[in-house]
């Protein structure tokens, strides 16, 4: 049975969901508060079951062609000397750098352009109220429109406002004690095709990653308990980072100089989204709005793409959208819980506060990068997720 479905958020999850819902015969509208499609964003990767979903959409090879060209990951010291190196081709694509490394904006645009011919995208609007009367969900938009849908799916980010409208106070975040910023800076001649990671005392890190746009993607992070920094205005966030990183060493000053003029500054205090359920009546959640695992999990984009596919399939297999939401949650919970299982000690180990801690980290990475150990190290990134069996959706829908 075909449904009339609203998706909020033209995200990776939202556009993937829109494509599959339309492909399966539903009438789909995607509402996005931004006035136009948003490019930009940093490196993300897609692995395993997520790659299979892209292959089924005919987008796998195109995504590979638009990759960043990153060839591996190297930890460096304050003089830029490589302490440990993990090359993707030596790890079979299962190391810190995956075979499919792509900028978030490039993947999102690829998915959006694939979906927009069969789904209606409405930019510059947002949901202000949802009233589920049992027979349909009546949605009132900021533009003044009120429309009825068989289902509403929230596919927004970790701080989703629409989730709070439909599930007020139900998110119980798990804070990861890591504050992080991403932005783009000018490329210099010494920038290579490696993801270069530098640790400074005080739980600070600076890393640089390549792209194919003539620029370099920078990330800086500091390990500390959350104090509401995500709610500060941008000027205050940048001032905080300048103060904390001015003496960090390596290329920190270059990164801070680039931060002042960047056009795509993103700042967040990392936390997982923990929801007791992903649906209520005719309203459901997917992607980061449902389960943000944070970049520490290394599986966020794969979860978004896989979850969107499974949700579209289950809404197509069930006449009752509430039954479809329930089946989708049963299928995806194991994979999400595994992805969210990053221990709180992980940021501590990766971001030591003392020189001794950094030396110990570098020593462990140096050993892990040797020929006999690096395959074992690669399994940390290639551990098969408890993903849903996609072959269950190979048959006809009802």
DSSP annotation of 189: T
pTM for the full model?
0.92
Question: Is 398's pLDDT higher than 50?
Answer: no
pLDDT digits (tens, 9 = 90+) for 368-387: 888 655 555 555 555 566 89
Integer CA distances (angstroms), 237 to 62, 113, 234, in order? 36, 34, 5
Residues in Cβ contact with 156 at an 8 Å cutoff, skipping those fewer than 6 apart: 8, 9, 11, 14, 162, 163, 287, 288, 289
pLDDT for the residue numbered 262: 95
> Strand, helix or coil at 334?
helix
CB 209 within 8 A of CB 197: no
CA distance 362 to 84: 7
Predicted local confidence at residue 374, as pLDDT: 54
- Nearest CA among 104, 97, 122 for reference residue 33: 122
Least reliable range by pLDDT among 155-159, 294-298, 302-306: 294-298
Looking at the DSSP bridge assignments, the partners of residue 139 are: 130, 147
> How many helices (H) and strands (E) in the chain?
13, 18
Give the contacts of 150 (CB within 8 A, at least 6 positions apart): 3, 4, 5, 136, 137, 282, 321
pLDDT at 271: 95
Return the number of other C-beta atoms located less than 10 Å from residue 85's C-beta. Answer: 18
Whose CA is closest to 8, among 206, 201, 156, 209? 156
CA of residue 348 relative to chain centroid, distance: 21
SS3 for 24? coil
Which of 314, 353, 309 lies closest to 19, judged by CA? 309
Burial 178-196 (b: 16+ CB within 10 A, else e): bbbbbbbbebeeebeebbb
- Which of these, 308, 327, 321, lies nearest to 7 by C-alpha position? 308
C-alpha–C-alpha distance, residues 55 and 330, integer Å: 24
Distance set, CA 214 to CA 69, 150, 189, 193, 218 (Å): 12, 45, 11, 12, 13
Could you tell me which residues are beta bridge partners of residue 209?
Answer: 217
Determine the average pLDDT of the residues in 319-327: 96
CB 270 within 8 A of CB 178: yes
Give the pLDDT score at 379: 53
The C-alpha angle 375, 97, 285, rounded to 5 degrees, equals 115
Rounded distance, CA 28 to CA 17, Å? 9
Query: Are 223 and 351 in contact, with CB atoms under 8 Å apart?
Result: yes
DSSP states along 226-265: --SGGGS-HHHHHHHHHHHHTT--TTHHHHHHHHHH-S--
Model confidence pLDDT, tens digit, residues 50-99: 999 999 999 999 999 999 999 999 999 999 999 999 998 877 656 687 88
pLDDT band at 395; cut points 50, 70, 90:
low
CA angle 3, 104, 303 (to 5 degrees): 55
Q: Measured in whole angstroms, how far is the alpha carbon of residue 302 from the centre of its chain?
A: 8
- pLDDT value at position 59? 96
pLDDT in tens, 172-215: 999 999 999 999 999 999 999 999 999 999 999 999 999 999 99
pLDDT > 90 in the chain, percent: 83
Q: How confident is the model at residue 171 (pLDDT cuts 50, 70, 90)?
A: very high
CB of 2 closer than 8 Å to CB of 26:
yes
Q: Is 8 helix (H, G, I), strand (E, B) or coil?
A: strand
Distance between CA atoms of residues 318 and 3, nearest Å: 10
């Amino acid at each position: 049975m075909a449904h009339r479905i609203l998706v909020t958020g033209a995200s990776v999850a939202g556009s993937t969901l829109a494509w599959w819902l339309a492909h399966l015969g539903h009438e789909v509208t995607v509402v996005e508060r931004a006035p136009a499609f948003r490019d930009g964003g940093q490196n993300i990767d897609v692995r395993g079951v997520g790659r299979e979903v892209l292959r089924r959409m005919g987008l796998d090879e195109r995504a590979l062609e638009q990759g960043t060209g990153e060839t591996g990951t190297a930890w460096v010291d304050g003089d830029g000397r490589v302490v440990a190196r993990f090359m993707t081709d030596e790890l079979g694509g299962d190391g810190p750098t995956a075979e499919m490394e792509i900028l978030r904006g490039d993947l999102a645009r690829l998915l959006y352009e694939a979906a927009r011919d069969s789904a209606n995208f409405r930019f510059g609007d947002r949901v202000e109220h949802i009233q589920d009367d049992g027979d349909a969900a009546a949605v009132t938009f900021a533009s003044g429109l009120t429309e009825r849908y068989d289902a509403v799916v929230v596919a927004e980010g970790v701080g989703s406002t629409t989730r709070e409208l439909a599930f007020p106070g139900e998110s119980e975040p798990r804070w990861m004690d890591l504050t992080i910023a991403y932005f783009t800076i000018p490329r210099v001649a010494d920038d290579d095709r490696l993801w270069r990671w530098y640790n400074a005392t005080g739980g600070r890190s600076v890393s640089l990653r390549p792209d194919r746009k003539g620029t370099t993607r920078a990330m800086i992070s500091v390990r500390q308990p959350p104090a509401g920094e995500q709610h500060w205005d941008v000027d205050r966030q940048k001032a905080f980072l300048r103060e904390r990183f001015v003496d960090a060493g390596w290329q920190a000053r270059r990164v801070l100089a680039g931060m002042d003029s960047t056009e795509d500054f993103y700042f967040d205090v990392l936390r997982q989204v923990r929801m007791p359920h992903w649906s209520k009546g005719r309203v459901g959640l997917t992607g980061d709005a449902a389960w943000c695992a944070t970049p520490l999990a290394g599986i966020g984009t794969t979860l978004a793409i896989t979850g969107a596919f499974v949700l579209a399939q289950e809404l197509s297999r069930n006449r009752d959208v509430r039954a479809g939401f329930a089946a989708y949650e049963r299928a995806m919970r194991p994979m999400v819980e595994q992805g969210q299982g990053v221990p709180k000690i992980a940021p501590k180990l990766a971001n030591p506060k003392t020189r001794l801690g950094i030396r110990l980290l570098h020593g462990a990475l140096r050993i892990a990068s040797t020929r006999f150990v690096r395959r074992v190290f690669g399994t940390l990134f290639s551990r098969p997720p408890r993903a849903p069996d996609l072959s269950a959706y190979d048959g006809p829908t009802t």
